[in-house]
Structure 1
Amino acid sequence: MSFESLGLAPALVRALAERNYTAPTPIQAEAIPLVLAGHDLLGGAQTGTGKTAAFVLPMLQRLHAMGQRNDRRPRALILVPTRELAVQVNDSIRAYSKYQRLQVATIYGGVGMNPQVDALRRGVDVVVACPGRLIDHLDQRNVDLSGVEMLVLDEADRMLDMGFLPSIKRILGKLPGKRQTLLFSATFEDALKKLALEMLRDPREVQIAARNTIAEKVTHRAHPVDGNRKRDLLIDILSQRWQEQVLVFGKTKHGCNRLAEQLEKAGISAVAIHGNKSQAQRLKALKEFKEGKARVLVATDVAARGLDIPLLPLVINHDLPMVAEDYVHRIGRTGRAGANGEAISLVSPDEAQLLRAIHRVLKADIEMITVEGYAPSRPIRMGNDGPSAGRPSGNRPPSKQRRPHAQQNTRHAHAGNRGGAQGQEQRQRRDARTSR
């Protein structure tokens, strides 16, 4: 299948060809014709599947077909959860619209408002925005959304996780009722399903991957270790995997800063990225990582979405995410575009409940290996969801022990798929939002 066969205009096909994009991905092949036909769309696809082009390309074509308007109001609005994703979507729009006359404004926090105000007042065709900063502009009457003809919510589940639902509903109240709406998400929970029912009109649904799944070419394993020895084990792993760039996820902003400093002291070049960093600092850290000046990028979950790092071989969870679905988004940074990937989690005994929740989300087994010299002081008890379920504590078989190295054979531990306490999961979700 070619992009021409999907009905895309020659100008878009030419821009794609210059970027060596010759064949659409599955999400693009299914979504683009539906969007071009004017349907509302509910799209489910894991990260790294070409989702951005699946809505940007038909949006550009439809805007071109509608012709130019005489007023300065935006004609399309794309809502995203993070600054990094806003920048990525903006870059994609500019690349694909190379042979079209199109004005784009990117709206997010962490930078001054004046340049954004100037762009909006000059008039734009497309606004790419994080909900919080867009609300600021709406409150100051810097932007009029009454002319929006197309609305896209990208990474909608992430926006809900980050507490943007009230802002999204306020923004929806400023939009015309007659519009085309596209909603894309990697996971679908009850709150998101309810929002979709409110927003979409007779939507077509495209589901490329099973919900809450990750790329098939990503291998997983977990190393049980005491919390106070995680840093040493991480340094051991990184020292043996010295040729590879690695994305390391931490739990808190302060913890990520401290971990990056500790890695630097151990002779491992590292930078940190999180919500307290200014946009300039975050872009600088990401640039150093992409250019190979830093071998390790230490990040909170703010970087789980929107980071476009091609051919990243390894992701390490120094701390497990407080919300199990965030594991999917973290690991989505590796194994992209058909490449192989690897995910390693350092799990302390106190994180057993978080690991159980991840098992339930993945509906799959995770390799459990105790690294020689790093056995935890007490076992990780998986209860009814784990490999030791039903065994007397005194008859537990000896742990599997290995040195950390690049290639290991897989031994799976049965994870089960039993539900957890809803109240605890809600508390974990709230704690996760406040720690980013």
Structure 2
Amino acid sequence: MQNFEGLAPAMAKALEKRGYTTLTPVQLSVSDPAIGHADALVSAQTGSGKTVAFGLALAPTLLAGEERFGRAESPLALVIAPTRELALQVKRELEWLYELTGAAMASCVGGMDMRTERRALERGAHIVVGTPGRLRDHITRGSLDLTNLRAVVLDEADEMLDLGFREDLEFILEAAPEDRRTLMFSATVPKEIAALAANYQRDALRISTAAERSQHVDIDYRALLVSPSDRENAIINVLRYYDAQNAIVFCSTRAAVNHLTARFNNRGFSVVALSGELSQNERTHALQAMRDGRARVCIATDVAARGIDLPNLELVVHADLPTNPETLLHRSGRTGRAGRKGVSALIVPLSARRKAERLLQMGNLKATWATPPSAEDILARDDERLLSDPLLTDPIGEDEAATVDALVARFDARSLAAAVGRFFKAGRSAPEDLIPVSLDARKPRDGEAPREPKRPREAFGASRWISVSVGRKQRAEPRWLIPMLCRNGNITKNEIGAIKMQPEETYIELAADAVDGFLGALGPNGMLERGIRVTALKGTPDLSAAPRDFERREGFAPKRSFDDKPRKDRRPAEGEADRKAGKPFKGEKPFKGEKPFKPKFAKARPAADGKGPAKPTGKKKQY
């Protein structure tokens, strides 16, 4: 039995029941009896157990020496979190931590039924967890009474300021009693957080763990250099290679989330999406699907970068590079939590290598530069997992003996082994064959010799034609059509031949041996991005009846050359003399309010000896 010295008995029993044997550094710091009821500004790395830490820190203030809470009336503690998911997660953590104390919990978060929350507050709650905007609404409407409040906790305070909740936080803190205890927990402490603490805390203790000043030691950072057209294929290979129980793929936009979700669903991955456009109910179901194993990959925007705690998250993939090192740290901090190991993989196109290097340097992170796992690496890893699968070493049960004997009697060992391998690999997406990339491939830096010019492309061989449902009227251009085809169809630009642009569609020539793989990558609907559809053609398209160029279509006048336009020089050279004299030259009228140009010269004074030409005063008016 573990002895947690200095903790309330109910807290110690809850930790033992949960399987805790030791406390993390931040938990030990805030639960020190020497702190007493003082305010505190606490900074620690993401995943260091801050939720349990402030739960332990609140216990002496809320219980006041008692083992259990009395009848629930108005709240004794208020916990403020930046997002709905984090607030609900904090509530779940505090429920098991305070289970033996009889504490009543309530949540007030955006997206939930406000009437249900109001009824819960009317019934009484000892601890209320919520988001800033919804808590302010309840205070304004009079449904949240802060009269008896003893403590306020700001979780992820830096994120709340980044999201624009400063006014809401100040409103809540000013509405709370002045003698309350205020605890602020933040991954970083910028100037804004320090100013907020100075205004709303009294003689606050500054608590910082040693881990805050270094990178997450339980996270293996890997920067994977890829060809730009292979970005999505590289993500597929990373997911297949690590085969993580839970993984998050971070994108920069909602459109990218929707695209990758559809792509990975077609490839057989169990995927859910998480972005700001989803309702609260949809986001809750997505996270629950990850927790109970119905989904293994979450495609998310940065809305999920803070506070989301998935118990078995082993892999974080940055499909789009973050914009700053803080976002990189918080994204990566979803894994490697509470002593578990994790991998953070940055997908780095060749053109973005310098950006990735700057991000890692500014974040004081050391990453291993490599190329994504190849198809051979993934197949070899599959064989290793198969040979180490416990199903092959578990003893044969009595109810299985008859089936095993029948299989052994009917089939030889090689056939049974082949069947086992097929069953193991069934449902797993086939790995992608990536374009080879050199780790030394990058743009020349200042002072370096430029790279060798590209060799001319060889003559295009056997080919087939496809039709794309955009043309000149939709402002289609090869400069964005070619990357889109390469990105979605797993082809390279060397496998694209002639491009014939028409008013309503575009005919594109592809290498014959690449067409089947291209259409298979698009799926049965043959859809690219932006609702663009691809259709395979039989033979060569007939362009004889189609307009030959944009200008010659009916209803369009030919473009006029610049040489056809008469030139109107505003101030010809022959009018320069008149201009200097302050007179408008022929054909020119002064603008409204414009005064004619008059040169201003310095006044002259005679020479000191009375001889010689006059000398200027040395002071000239500026004009």
Bin of the TM-score, shorter chain as denominator length = 0.7 to 0.9
Structure 1's 210 and 9: CA in aligned 2 closer, same or farther, altered over 3 A?
Answer: closer
**Structural mapping, 1:196-345, within 5 Å:** 196-211=197-212, 213-225=214-226, 227-242=228-243, 244-345=245-346
* 2:62 maps to 1:63: yes
Kept in 2: contact 1:270–1:295 (CA 8 A): yes
Q: How many residues align?
A: 388
Give the drift of 1:370: 4.3
Aligned position for 2:36: 37
Q: In the aligned structure 1, how far is the partner of 2:197 from the partner of 2:225? A: 40
The aligned counterpart of 2:145 is: 144
Deviation (angstroms), 1:159:
1.1
CA pair 53-158 structure 1, distance change in 2 beyond 3 A = same
Summarize the alignment of residues 16-95 of structure 1 with structure 2, pairs less than 5 Å apart: 16-33=15-32, 37-65=36-64, 72-95=73-96
What secondary structure does 2:313 align onto? Answer: coil
CA distances 1:167-204 after superposition (whole Å, capped 9, x unpaired): 11111121112111111111121211211222222122
Q: Residue type of the partner of 1:176?
A: P
Change (3 A) 1:338 1:309: same
**Corresponding residue SS for 1:262:** helix
| 1:57 counterpart letter in structure 2 | L
Q: Deviations over 1:149-176 (max 9, x none)?
A: 1111111111112111121111112111
Corresponding position of 1:394: 450
Corresponding position of 1:9: 8
**Partner Cα distance (1:35, 1:375) in 2:** 57
**Is 1:101 matched up with 2:157?**
no
Give yes or no for contact 1:233–1:374 (8 Å, CA) kept in 2. no
Change (3 A) 1:243 1:145: closer
Distance 2:114 2:136 in 1: 12
Q: What SS does structure 2 have at the residue aligned with 1:78?
A: strand
Q: Give 1:182-193 correspondences, 5 Å limit.
A: 182-193=183-194
The answer to whether the Cα contact below 8 Å between 1:218 and 1:342 also exists between their aligned partners in 2 is yes
Deviation at 1:367, TM superposition (A): 2.9
Structure 1 residues 206-234: Cα deviation after superposition (integer angstroms, max 9, x where no partner): 21135464321211122234555322221
Q: Determine the C-alpha separation between the residues in 2 that align with 1:175 and 1:243.
A: 45
Aligned mates of 1:178, 1:215 — CA distance in 2: 37
* Alignment match, 1:415: none
Question: Residue type of the partner of 1:77?
Answer: L
Whose Rg is larger? Answer: 2
Point out where structure 2 has 5 or more consecutive residues left out of the alignment.
373-433, 453-623
Cross-structure match for 2:522: none
- Which stretch shifts more, 112-121 or 221-230? 221-230
| 1:41-78 deviation line (CA, Å, top 9, x unaligned) | 11111122121111112313421217768883211111
Displacement over 6 Å in runs of 4+: 66-71
The superposition leaves residues 22-52 of structure 1 with CA deviations (integer Å, 9 ceiling, x where unpaired) of: 3222111111125861111111111221211
Deviation of residue 241 (structure 1)? Answer: 3.2
- Counterpart contact for 2:270–2:296, Cα < 8 Å: yes
Letter in 2 for 1:373: I
1:69–1:96 Cα change, 3 Å:
closer
Match of 1:176 in 2: 177
1:155 alignment partner in structure 2 = 156
Deviates more, 1:363-372 or 1:336-345: 363-372
Contact 1:44 1:211 in 2 (8 A): yes
Q: Give 3-state SS (helix, strand or coil) of 2:86's partner.
A: helix
Distance 1:278 1:24 in 2: 36
Query: Map of 1:108-127 to 2, 5 A cutoff?
Result: 108-127=109-128
Contact 1:46 / 1:209 at 8 angstroms: preserved in 2?
A: no
Which has the higher mean CA deviation after the structures are superposed, 58-67 or 88-97? Answer: 58-67
Distance 2:34 2:270 in 1: 44
- What is the letter of the counterpart of residue 54 of structure 2? F
Contact 1:311–1:336 (Cα < 8 Å) also in 2: no
Length-normalised TM-score, structure 2: 0.58
Q: 2:237 & 2:357 partners in 1: Cα distance?
A: 26
Aligned AA (2:25) = P
**C-alpha separation between the residues in 2 aligned to 1:54 and 1:232?**
41
| Cα pair distance change 1:28/1:35, threshold 3 Å | farther
* 1:173 counterpart SS class: helix
- Counterpart mapping for 1:317-396 below 5 A: 317-348=318-349, 351=352, 354-371=355-372, 373=435, 375=437, 392-394=448-450
Q: 1:206 and 1:393 mapped to 2: Cα distance?
A: 51
TM-score by length of structure 1 reads 0.81
CA distance in 2, matches of 1:360, 1:173: 40
The alignment's C-alpha RMSD in Å is: 2.7
CA deviation string 1:288-310 (max 9, x = no partner): 21222212111111211222223
Deviation at 1:236, TM superposition (A): 2.5
- Give the C-alpha shift of residue 347 in structure 1: 2.5
- 1:417 matched residue in structure 2: none
Supply the AA of the counterpart residue of 2:435. G
Deviates more, 1:307-316 or 1:124-133: 307-316
Distance 1:277 1:115 in 2: 21
Whether the aligned pair in 2 keeps the contact of 1:311 and 1:335 (CA below 8 Å) is no
Q: What is the rounded CA distance, in whole Å, between the counterparts of 1:213 and 1:158 in structure 2?
A: 20
Identify which of structures 1 and 2 has the higher relative contact order when contacts are C-alpha pairs closer than 8 Å and 6+ apart: 1
In 2: Cα distance, 1:227 partner to 1:135 partner: 46
| 1:248 to partner: Cα distance | 0.8
Output the CA distance in 1 between the equivalents of 2:370 and 2:151.
49
In the alignment, the residues of structure 1 paired with residue 24 and residue 295 of structure 2 have an alpha-carbon distance, to the nearest angstrom, of 31
Q: Which amino acid in structure 2 is aligned with residue 49 of structure 1? A: S
Q: Percent identity?
A: 35
On the 8 A contact 2:157/2:186 being kept in 1, the answer is: yes
> Compared with structure 1, are the counterparts of its residues 105 and 228 closer, same or farther at alpha carbon in structure 2 (3 Å cutoff)?
farther
